[in-house]
Amino acid sequence: MNHNTTIAIVTANLIPLFGIFAGDWSVSDLILLYWLENLVVGFYWLYKKAHGHIKAGSSVLSGIEDVGFFTLHYSIFCLVHGLFVFILFFPDLADTVDGFAVMFEEDNGLLNLPVMLWATLNHYVTAEILFALFFLAASHGFTSWRELSGAGPRRDGVIYETPYPRIVFLHLFILGAGFLFMEGVLPYYLLALFVVAKTIFDLLFEKGP
């Protein structure tokens, strides 16, 4: 893996670590940031998938079908993951976001899920989270550029599988952290340990097979 790639990944992940010790970040802030990062990851993989079709000279219909399927599949995955995150880590959600509780009581309430998630983001996403997300997005943009330019690891043929290990990793953490969160015993060093583990995961992920 390129030295500049390592610097970009480590630097971007140091900001949440700083937020934990200097900015008094909570587990909710951290998980929300990493859920938003999954959206960024999906965007770049969508771009790389479209770029691959253009470079290969694929038909327009083939490209639309492939990119469209990935968009639908990944969007649903992130939507369900986001719902799980917000319900588990934001217990005051029903009181702070109008209509969230009613969504589960109405017959067609789940159709309002995207609207409710957007309202939730508007309520909980802070300037500090956006600042950290900007650097994470820049890091993913840099590594994606290197991959498309031929300088980074190639993962052709596994576009659907590749983004999901990140979400699976976060799900495993959510199960453990969520339990500790509800018990009220989640010290800062455990949050910091998760950031370090996630950084190592990102480095291994970008290293490629």
Count of residues in the chain: 209
Q: Cβ(140)–Cβ(41) under 8 Å?
A: yes
By CB atoms closer than 10 A (0-12, 13-18, 19+), residue 22 is exposed
pLDDT tier for residue 83 given thresholds of 50, 70 and 90: confident
The 3-class SS string of 11-78 reads: HHHHHHHHHHHHCCCCHHHHHHHHHHHHHHHHHHHHHHHHHHHHHHCCCHHHHHHHHHHHHHHHHHHH
Hey, which of 29-38, 52-61, 189-198 has the most confident mean pLDDT? 29-38
pLDDT at 136: 92
Instruction: Give the pLDDT mean for 161-168.
Output: 69
pLDDT at 209: 52
Question: pLDDT by residue (tens digit) across 84-139?
Answer: 777 777 766 655 555 555 555 555 555 566 666 677 777 788 888 999 999 999 99
Handedness of CA 95, 98, 99, 104 (dihedral sign): negative
Question: pLDDT by residue (tens digit) across 167-198?
Answer: 777 777 766 766 676 666 567 777 788 888 88
pLDDT at 114: 67
Question: How high does pLDDT run on average in the chain?
Answer: 75
pLDDT at 158 over 50: no
pLDDT tier for residue 154 given thresholds of 50, 70 and 90: low
